[in-house]
Amino acid sequence: QEAAAPLRTQVDLGCNFFVTAEVPDPQRVFVALGFGFFAELTLPEALRHLERRSRLLQRLSDSLTRDGAKIRAHIRLVLEVTPPPP
């Protein structure tokens, strides 16, 4: 099996402090799943996983945007029906 070209990437060391890293043979990469768990995946598997995660996060973002709009509408409604102080 032929080695893939080296992969250059940015790694977060914490507190948004990034350093450049080079992976000499990126046929398999570790993907953070959350809660401290990682999976070793091939590049196509990692891309599929990240596409699914991206869609999930987009749906979550859309839901939170709708919830925020409802809350703002309720606040406006309460402010309009509440009489001003004397």
Domains of the chain, residue spans: 7-81
Q: Could you tell me the two tokens for 69?
A: 């709009």
Residue 83's Cβ-side half-sphere holds a number of Cα atoms within 13 Å equal to: 2
Look at residue 84 in the predicted model and tell me its pLDDT. Answer: 81
| Span 16-34, pLDDT tens digits | 999 999 988 888 888 999 8
Look at residue 3 in the predicted model and tell me its pLDDT. Answer: 67
Specify the residue for token string 């080296």. Answer: 6
On whether the CB atoms of residues 40 and 29 are closer than 8 A, the answer is yes
HEC letters along 11-63: EECCCCCEEEEEECCCCEEEEEEECCEEEEEEHHHHHHHHHHHHHHHHHHHHH
